[in-house]
Structure 1
Amino acid sequence: MTHAALEVTGLLGAVPGVVAAAGRATEVPVVPDAEQARGWLERELADPVYHEQPSLLQRLLDWLGRLFEGADGIPVGNVGTLLAVLGGIALLVLIAFLVTGPVRRNRRVAGTGTVLDSDDRRTAAELRAAADAAAARGDWDAAAADRFRAVVRALEERAVLDERPGRTAHEAVEAAGVRLPAHAVDLRAAGRLFDDVVYGERAASAADDAGLRELDARVAATRPTLPAGLAGVDA
């Protein structure tokens, strides 16, 4: 249906209301002349109810629903209609991406990425050296990532953590925080930083690397608490 036809249909739909309103006002059948009919129509269409519009997305969904009602809802030979349908679908996909994209990114950085791969056998000292080299060339993302890996590897070497390839940053800092309660808050912050830099969209800075370097030194100098049931056994 063309735009002009839609306008005519809308006007015809308003006519019963116009006539009814006129009938209520006069209490007798009225046959208006052209000028009177035009005035009644203008007053009726001035009612706010005719100007209430649903949201853009709802109108698009309603329109697509009408197009797909029945097998004959879309004239196959009408190229303009086909392009309009494809454009509408593309718009829906774009809206869905804009709405769900941030959700997917948040889930991705919520502690699901591993700290050390199964084939990464570097020692804590080697990871610290890699972080130093990255910092020297100004690659703060790589420096922060390897600095946090060094913290985790050092805890494994001290048997504070069991050596477990595939452990996430969240798992590492939660387990380490039990044995090192004085550093639990800082360890959690370091784990979030690692996830944000390696698996998210955050860029690390020199300050981030310096903070991780300082945390690594403090953790290395702290004697961990003993696990439950191992009183009297040195860590």
Structure 2
Amino acid sequence: MAPTPEEGRSWLRRELADPDYHDLDLIERILRWIERTLSDGLPSADEVPWAQTVAAMVVFALILVGLGLLVSRARRSPRAARDRDGDVLTDEALSAAALRARAEAAYASGDHGAAVVDGFRALARRQVERGRLAEDPGLTAAEVAASLEREMSLEGRAGRAAELFNEVLYGDHPATREQAEGVLTLEQELAVAR
């Protein structure tokens, strides 16, 4: 004879009140189930042939080396690239005239970003050659602009050119033809200024 719904609920309540259901919390029960599943499914160390053990260790070592290489590449920040190539005055032994010529060639070929970068570097190098700026390989574009703005009446044009230099070089922003032309014009004006 089947129990009535009320009897079924009563039996279920009594069954669930049994202490066996309450000795482990849910997390412990899940962890024990995972432990049982893994211990039943994995062979013991003496059951695995030595060749498979060595192969597994080699694969594990290769994975670790690969992860190490990925992490080392990921840790290279834009700051590291800036330290190497981002300074206004680089280790290149180019004169202002050579940098200007390179900027003009980039401008003529339509590479306006390179024209901005080399144009601003030509501007800074020329000011070093003229004695307005100190030869400092770590000189930033903002420092160049601030020094020139203090010394000459440029109405913020050097500051805008420095910002553009940074945006193009560090932010990978494209430069327009007009922007490149503006940097080259400023460089030419400063070249002839007394």
C-alpha displacement of 1:141? 4.3
Question: How far apart are the structure 2 equivalents of 1:51 and 1:144?
Answer: 62
Question: How far apart are the structure 2 equivalents of 1:87 and 1:117?
Answer: 38
Please tell me the residue identity of whatever aligns with 1:210. E
Asked if structure 2 preserves the Cα contact closer than 8 Å seen for 1:155 and 1:161, the reply is: yes
What residue in structure 2 maps to residue 121 of structure 1?
95
C-alpha displacement of 1:157? 4.9
Is 1:85 the counterpart of 2:66? The answer is no
What residue in structure 2 maps to residue 188 of structure 1?
162
Question: How far apart are the structure 1 equivalents of 2:90 and 2:174?
Answer: 19
Structure 2, unaligned runs of 5 or more: 1-14, 32-48
What RMSD in Å do the two structures reach over aligned CA positions? Answer: 4.3
Say if 1:185 and 1:143 are closer, same or farther in 2 by CA, change over 3 A.
Answer: closer
C-alpha displacement of 1:149? 2.2
What residue in structure 2 maps to residue 153 of structure 1?
125
Is 1:100 the counterpart of 2:75? The answer is yes
Structure 1, unaligned runs of 5 or more: 1-21, 31-39, 53-74, 223-234
SS in 2 for 1:161: coil
SS in 2 for 1:168: coil
Please tell me the residue identity of whatever aligns with 2:166. R
Question: How far apart are the structure 2 equivalents of 1:205 and 1:216?
Answer: 17
What residue in structure 1 maps to residue 116 of structure 2?
144
Is 1:205 the counterpart of 2:178? The answer is no
Say if 1:51 and 1:204 are closer, same or farther in 2 by CA, change over 3 A.
Answer: farther
C-alpha displacement of 1:190? 4.0
Question: How far apart are the structure 1 equivalents of 2:181 and 2:69?
Answer: 40
Q: Which of 1 and 2 has higher RCO (CA within 8 Å, sep 6+)? A: 2
Figure out how many residues of one structure are paired with residues of the other and give that number: 155
Structure with greater proportional helix content: 2
Asked if structure 2 preserves the Cα contact closer than 8 Å seen for 1:112 and 1:168, the reply is: no
Say if 1:50 and 1:141 are closer, same or farther in 2 by CA, change over 3 A.
Answer: farther
C-alpha displacement of 1:152? 1.4
Asked if structure 1 preserves the Cα contact closer than 8 Å seen for 2:103 and 2:116, the reply is: yes
